[in-house]
Structure 1
Amino acid sequence: MALKTFVKISSVNNLSDARYCAGMQVNLMGFNLEENSKNFISPEKFKEITDWLSGLEYVAEFEHTHPERILTHLKEYQGIHHIQIQEEIHLKMLVNTGFGIILHQKLEDITDLDELIKKSRSYDEHHVTLLLTSEQLALNASVIEKIRILAEGCQVLLGFGLEASNIEKTVDQTNIKGISLEGGDEIKPGLKDFDELAEILETLEIED
């Protein structure tokens, strides 16, 4: 079993969802290590979950934690491959640490994509992957075109507007690296439920 595109699952906090997604051969599994977050995963819980998994890479997800604290904190977690942050100012302190870097950008307007396009070559030079989410934007033709241009300059993971009915077309139109689906108490892509996430993954599944 394999998937047609690269998939990251974010904010996983329970074993059943983790095992399901690992079984579907997602590429990256993210755990929220922001200590004040409701989805925070302790080192003990992280080990409890990941001891059951194999064949994928793990992402430590942070929001506002300072890079020095991030690197100290990660010493308590074994097996982390990537760091995800939201504060662009923190990139300089993390790009040469040996971890893959994902910069999570929450889009409020289509002009936010224009700003990212201007910086896309720099992101690529420093091996930074962009993760795009939005509660305001729809995947209309204009947004899709700008994401396509952005993906020409750097690696992009798309984390909004995804449905089983449009997922393959969206990946083809945008030429993105892959998609990001959100976990949590009820694993979901955007605001959807587990059944809809499973439908997306099953749509992407390559039949033997």
Structure 2
Amino acid sequence: MALIIPVLVRGINNLSDARYCAGMGADGLIFTLDPSLPGAIDVATVKELAGWVAGVELIGEFGASMPVSGINRLVEECGLQRVALRQLPGSPLSVPVLLHVPVFALLDGRFTEEVRAQYAALFPAGFELTTTLDSSLSATLLPALANHAQQMPLWLRGAIAPESVRALLEEVRPTGLILEGGDEIKPGLRDFTELESVFEALEEE
């Protein structure tokens, strides 16, 4: 299935999600590997799930409690191509970074060219930004997000509705979208209704 924009899916914790998202054209799967974060899974689970999929990027998500040495170790153990971070690390990482930035930090002008240069120095392997859209975000603020998306790679996650996703992409022109995985109802049984509607809205015509 070919999609009109790159898609990552975060919170992957079961085989149903891993195989479904890979089959629907997702470019990458994000696994929560920091034990301090909700829904974290272990190395063995990541390796097991990764063994069932091919052609997708493997990404680990980490919070503030995980030291860089621990992140780099898990990068090697799990064969990760990138990591997703929720705040700045204390030292450089061995792979490219998806750095989450609150949407208000982008909209109020604090993410300046000088700040981008500082981040570039901290992430020698490269970095891209992610931000979360809230359903209450006014459409009048989307041009400001579009301005950031023109200056550097920006991924959107959060309030992404199938009926409006194409208009959102046209307005902001992000690098890609980050969708949310979910839990199985029971082993091997998963309701993909929400994910399926978004994937179908993103399918190339």
TM-score normalised according to structure 2 size? 0.84
CA distance in 1, matches of 2:106, 2:67: 28
Find out whether 1:133 has 2:129 as its counterpart.
no
**Bigger shift: residues 53-62 or 160-169:** 160-169
Indicate the residue corresponding to 1:190 in structure 2: none
Report the 3-state secondary structure (helix = DSSP H, G, I; strand = E; otherwise coil) of the residue aligned with 1:20. helix
Indicate the residue corresponding to 1:75 in structure 2: 76
Report the 3-state secondary structure (helix = DSSP H, G, I; strand = E; otherwise coil) of the residue aligned with 1:159. strand
Indicate the residue corresponding to 1:30 in structure 2: 30
Provide the identity percentage: 28
Classify 1:91/1:59 alpha carbon distance in 2 versus 1 (closer, same or farther; 3 Å). farther
Q: Offset of 1:133 from its aligned partner?
A: 1.4
Q: Offset of 1:8 from its aligned partner?
A: 0.9
1:124 touches 1:155 (CA, 8 Å); kept in 2? Answer: no
Classify 1:93/1:40 alpha carbon distance in 2 versus 1 (closer, same or farther; 3 Å). same
Consecutive unaligned residues in structure 2, runs of 5 or more: 186-190
> Which of 155, 158, 161 is residue 157 of structure 1 equivalent to?
155
**Bigger shift: residues 68-77 or 47-56:** 68-77
Find out whether 1:183 has 2:184 as its counterpart.
no
Classify 1:154/1:50 alpha carbon distance in 2 versus 1 (closer, same or farther; 3 Å). same
Q: Offset of 1:38 from its aligned partner?
A: 3.2
Measured against aligned partners, the alpha-carbon deviations of 1:33-72 in whole angstroms (never above 9, x if no partner) come to: 0113331121111111111101110101001112122112
Question: Which residue identity lines up with residue 18 of structure 1 in the other structure?
Answer: A
Q: Offset of 1:92 from its aligned partner?
A: 4.5
Q: Offset of 1:91 from its aligned partner?
A: 6.7
Report the 3-state secondary structure (helix = DSSP H, G, I; strand = E; otherwise coil) of the residue aligned with 2:177. strand
Indicate the residue corresponding to 2:56 in structure 1: 56
1:104 touches 1:131 (CA, 8 Å); kept in 2? Answer: yes
Find out whether 1:115 has 2:115 as its counterpart.
no
CA distance in 2, matches of 1:144, 1:23: 31
Report the 3-state secondary structure (helix = DSSP H, G, I; strand = E; otherwise coil) of the residue aligned with 1:4. coil
1:116 touches 1:150 (CA, 8 Å); kept in 2? Answer: no
Measured against aligned partners, the alpha-carbon deviations of 1:80-114 in whole angstroms (never above 9, x if no partner) come to: 100111112x17522xx2x121001234x476552
Q: Offset of 1:120 from its aligned partner?
A: 4.2
Indicate the residue corresponding to 1:66 in structure 2: 67
